[in-house]
Chain A
């Protein structure tokens, strides 16, 4: 079946930029998403990108999509301690029946 992979951990210092990477296998992906999960809470949609876009910027967040390599990244500028959370990459596409497939999540630790 379709698969989404991302590294499990990332540690950065407060004020630095964080880059979380993700790869996916579904060549028919239509939308790609980044969700954030804080402890004890549900997932919150941070941002998403349509598959015909290369980049999307939203305040401190920049999403880059390399469709040829099936690679998605999320850059968080000026990372704050409040950004510490689990970040999930996800995709939905025709091959998967438009179900959203999630990666295992990247745990971001921000050191003060």
Chain B
């Protein structure tokens, strides 16, 4: 029973394509996130949703569009992929009021060729 699951695990695509990454959590948490980890392992928050509402939107290109159909799902759609988008993308969830203890998915390795 995976707590935070994201698909696909690997995504290899050409520049200019559009792709989506899906995330689901079965922990009953009310907050979900997308983080980007670069090749040096530096981790940076991209978006955060609380009960389907966007609460954090960092300075991310508008080619990245998150969508939360319900509080258990947070998907990430990326338009017009660029070489610099290559990274590992992590979905995470937490429950408000519990010190933002984050539960992470296993990551999606995106490679843009």
Contact = CB atoms under 8 A, between A and B. Distances in A.
Interface of A: 30-31, 33, 35, 37, 40-45, 48, 50, 86, 88, 92, 97-100, 102, 104-105
A92 B100 contact: yes
Contacts of A42: 4, 90, 92, 104-107
A48 B106 CA distance: 21
B67 interface: no
B45 interface: yes
B41 A33 contact: no
B43 A33 contact: no
B57 to A, nearest CB: 11
Q: How large is the interface on B (under 10, 10 to 19, 20 to 34, 35 or more residues)?
A: 20 to 34
Contacts of B61: none
A97 B56 contact: yes
B101 A105 contact: no
B42 A104 contact: yes
Contacts of A98: 100
A50 B4 CA distance: 25
Interface in B1-36: 4
Which residue, of B40, B42, B99, B103, has the highest number of chain A Cβ atoms within 10 A? B99
Contact of A43 (B42, B45, B90, B99): B90
B48 interface: yes
Contacts of A43: 43, 90, 92, 102, 104
Given A41-B107, A42-B90, A105 B41 contact: yes
B45 A33 contact: no
A100 to B, nearest CB: 5
